[in-house]
């Protein structure tokens, strides 16, 4: 049997000693990422009964699971990911690559004309370790998520997206500011300090965006 690399051993040690991992396991949550969403959403009271929420890059389901619980028996949570995701009660799941037009069309069909109140995007590419490549891939996904919000988010709705700091970040945030009344950059406590991920919270979708 091959021995684990030092970096792999270090990651495993960090993962299993992580208080958010332990808490997620204790509370029956799919992933520690749920606590990122909890902090980001509760601070600004983004979830209300009856809302339609779309969760892009949902697997393994931590965000969708938390959102469904927060909404109670009302509203809808529609999730999508290129990876398979075990079923969650009350969550509609679309398995497919969001970069493909056919998958986007299926997602639109699932909405059946309903406007979305909150778009969540925790999408990220498979990281190659080459920053220039990884940032370009991540930014492409972020642009697709913003285009989806442009088309399907109701006026006054909110958009929460994971971004990676680097080339293209400032331009992306400027584009958000054209579309929304308020844009904040947040790094929740559950985000690992060494990660260059942050979350952009765009609130108050303008009826006529200056795009």
Going by the annotation, the residues of the binding site are 61, 63, 81, 97, 122
* DSSP character at residue 79: E
Give the burial class of 113: count Cβ atoms within 10 A of its Cβ; 0-12 exposed, 13-18 middle, 19 or more buried.
exposed
Residue set of the binding site for S-adenosyl-L-methionine = 61, 63, 81, 97, 122
Q: Render 81-149 in DSSP notation, one character per residue.
A: ESS-----TTEEEEES-TTSHHHHHHHHHHHTTPPEEEEEE---PPP-S-HHHHHHHHHHHHHHHHHHH
Measured distance CA(3)–CA(80) in Å, rounded = 35
Residue corresponding to tokens 């913003």: 146
**CB-based contact 143:175 (threshold 8 Å):** no
Indicate which residues carry an active-site annotation: 162
Q: How many CA atoms lie within 13 A of 209 on its CB side?
A: 24
């Amino acid at each position: 049997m091959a021995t684990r690399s030092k970096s792999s051993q270090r990651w495993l040690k960090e993962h299993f000693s992580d208080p958010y991992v332990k808490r997620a396991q204790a509370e029956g949550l799919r992933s520690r990422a749920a606590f990122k969403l909890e902090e980001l959403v509760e601070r600004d009271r983004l979830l209300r009964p009856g809302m339609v929420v779309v969760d892009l890059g949902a697997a393994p389901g931590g965000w969708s699971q938390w959102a469904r619980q927060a909404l109670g028996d009302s509203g809808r949570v529609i999730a999508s990911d290129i990876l398979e995701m075990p079923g969650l009660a009350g969550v509609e799941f679309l398995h497919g690559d969001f970069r493909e037009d056919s998958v986007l069309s299926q997602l639109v069909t699932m909405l059946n004309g309903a406007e979305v109140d909150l778009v969540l995007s925790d999408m990220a590419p498979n990281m190659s370790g080459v920053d220039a490549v990884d940032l370009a891939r991540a930014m492409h996904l972020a642009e697709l998520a913003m285009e989806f919000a442009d088309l399907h988010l109701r006026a006054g709705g909110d958009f929460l997206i994971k971004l990676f700091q680097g080339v293209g970040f400032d331009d992306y945030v400027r584009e958000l500011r054209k579309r929304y009344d308020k844009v904040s950059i947040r790094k929740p406590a559950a985000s690992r300090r060494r990660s260059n991920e942050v979350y952009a919270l765009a609130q108050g979708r303008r009826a006529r965006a200056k795009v």
